[in-house]
Amino acid sequence: MVPDQKPLIYLNNAATSWPKPPRVLAAIAQSLSLPVFGSGRTTGTQGDDYLTLARDRLSMFLGGAPPEHLVFTHNATDSLNILISGFLAGKKEECHVLTTALDHNSVLRPLHEYEQQCRIRLDIIPFRDCSVSPDAVQASLKPDTCLVVMTHGSNVLGSVQDIRAIGEILHDHGIYFIVDGAQTAGHIPVDLKDLPVDAFVITGHKGLLGVPGIGGFFLRDPETIAPIRFGGTGTDSFSLLHPRGMPERFEIGTHNYPGLAALAAGVEFLNETGLATIMEKAEKQTLFLIRELKKEENIMIYDEHPDLPIIAFNIKGVQNDDVGFVLARGFNIIARTGLHCAPLLHKAIDGGEGCVRISPSWFTTDEECRLAADAIREIARNADSTVGQA
Ligand SMILES: Cc1ncc(COP(=O)(O)O)c(C=O)c1O
């Protein structure tokens, strides 16, 4: 309960975006209002084929990538597991794999599991000035490096990595490149036709404005990833072996139709609003928030020039959880505090204590940014009397 019922200000869009465009909610309701109809799966003449709609719309949005090379999964974590496990399934001998200190546990944990099983040797590429440079990647390569998995956009610092330059280096060495685009798809242009990446992972519930439970990946050459899950596809049903064609190779069981409908509507909203317009507003609000927070000497901002609408900070002398608590209880502002699933990054920036993250979206108003900045500055000014010292 919030004592004075201040209007809710949601600044946790890097975790999951909210609110959703009204058409996303309408699409979910519509998708459930009629029996599902999916080509090959369920006979019927009513309703929309949300699978094809979402695949076509998303592939256009991601630069015109071939739609059949876009695979739907449960989320970005699911996609990364399928790709990493499927790539390593094809390797007979232990090989060297790289990821970065910016990365999320969705990348770190699958890789550490394989390291524990002695299937890979894992090294972590450090970051400097909030980013992983192509030179740092080059310097970390070993003669038997077979795979690099890394984030496109940091979910804590908001920095976007130069995956084009990194991909060019890796491809010169014949090294496979999987990119985690959970934080970038829907925020910045991504042209998969053109980018030198082997696989690019997305999630539906963040910048693409869909709902949790739907994600996917783009895969350039299907033969490079062995399928690791098998089951019904609604196609070639006499065969007791799972189809190997795309995208059935990786899609199993009943699809998340409401999630697909929501994703298609989210992408339609982004197209109609225009990514350039969305980016312009995000940049303006992010710069405003950073400028305001910098007015208090005891606020430490970890990346003062983020490429994404993500601002990570701590207030000296106040635990980040306490800042989040006061923001929520005193101001009805939803931020995210703690480790943000990026343990190596936190070790580097805040000694593993964690930080406060605020992340506006297209739906955040300038007035909400002003109120949030005022609230954070007030907490900083009262830092001495705030409960809990860091
Ligand atoms: C960089 C990054 N990668 C992966 C994920 C996991 O995304 P999902 O919840 O779709 O599995 C997140 C979500 O927080 C993220 O920020």
Q: Give the tens place of pLDDT for each residue, 372-386.
A: 999 999 999 999 654
Euclidean distance between CA atoms 250 and 243, whole angstroms: 9
Q: Could you list the beta-strand ranges (E) of 247-330.
A: 299-301, 311-315
CA distance 63 to 322: 43
Tell me the per-residue pLDDT of 21-60, one tens digit each, with 9 for 90 and over: 999 999 999 999 987 655 555 544 445 789 999 999 999 9
- Whether pLDDT at 389 is above 50: no
Q: Which two tokens stand for residue 126?
A: 């450090």
Q: Is ligand 1 within 6 A of the CB of residue 184?
A: no
CATH code, domain carrying 312: 3.90.1150.10
Locate 45 and state its tokens.
Answer: 């003449």
State whether 262 and 281 are in the same domain: no
Ligand 1 centroid–CA 291 distance in Å is 28
pLDDT 10s digits, 334-355: 999 999 999 999 999 999 999 9
CB distance 83 to 217 below 8 Å: yes
**Nearest atom (ligand 1) to Cα of 203:** 10
Cut 0.85: pTM above it: yes
User: Is the same domain home to 216 and 294?
Assistant: no
Helix (H) or strand (E) holding 372, with range, is: helix 366-381
According to the model, what pLDDT value does residue 44 have?
45
pLDDT score of 3: 53
- Ligand 1 centroid–CA 182 distance in Å is 5
Residue that wins the pLDDT comparison between 95 and 386: 95
Its domain, for residue 377, covers: 9-20+274-385
User: Looking at residues 288-299, what average pLDDT do you find?
Assistant: 98
CB 169 within 8 A of CB 197: no
pLDDT at 34: 82
Structure tokens, 325: 């608590």
126 and 161 belong to one structural domain: yes
CA–centroid distance, 347 to ligand 1, in Å, is 19
Nearest to 183 by CA among 356, 359, 14: 14
Q: Which atom of ligand 1 is nearest to the CA of 103?
A: 1
- Measure the CA–CA gap between 374 and 367, rounded to whole angstroms: 11
* Residues 231, 363 within the same domain: no
Atom 13 in ligand 1: residue holding the nearest Cα: 15
pLDDT of residue 73: 98
Ligand 1 pocket test, candidate residues 155, 157, 160, most atoms within 8 A of CB: 155
**Ligand 1 pocket test: which of 16, 80, 106 has the largest number of ligand atoms within 8 Å of its C-beta?**
106
- Residue closest to 333 by CA, chosen among 291, 301, 379, 278: 379
CA 5 to centroid of ligand 1, rounded, Å: 31
How many domains does the chain contain in total? 2
- Kindly state whether residues 97 and 203 are assigned to the same domain: yes
- The alpha carbon of 149 and the centre of ligand 1 are apart by a number of angstroms equal to 14
Evaluate: CB of 154 within 6 angstroms of ligand 1: no
Question: Is the CB of residue 182 below 6 angstroms from any atom belonging to ligand 1?
Answer: yes
- Does residue 76 line the site of ligand 1, with CB under 6 A? yes
Side-chain-side CA neighbours of residue 121 (13 Å): 10
Q: Ligand 1 within 6 A of 155 CB?
A: yes
Q: What angle do CA 149, 155, 161 make, to 5 degrees?
A: 50
Q: Which of 272, 299, 332 is the last residue of a domain?
A: 272
Residue 203 near ligand 1, beta carbon < 6 Å: yes
pLDDT at res. 35: 79
Q: Whose CA is nearest to atom 7 of ligand 1?
A: 76
> Whats the size of the chain, residue-wise?
390
1 in any annotated domain: no
pLDDT at site 234? 87
**Looking at the structure, do residues 42 and 108 belong to the same domain, yes or no?**
yes
C-alpha of residue 244 to centroid of ligand 1, in Å = 28
Q: Are residues 283 and 268 in the same domain?
A: no
- How far apart are alpha carbons 229 and 69 in whole angstroms? 17
Q: Are residues 233 and 165 in the same domain?
A: yes
Q: What percent of the chain has pLDDT over 90?
A: 90
List residues bridging with 10 in a β-sheet: 334
3-state secondary structure of 194: coil
CATH of the domain at 147: 3.40.640.10
pLDDT number for residue 47: 58
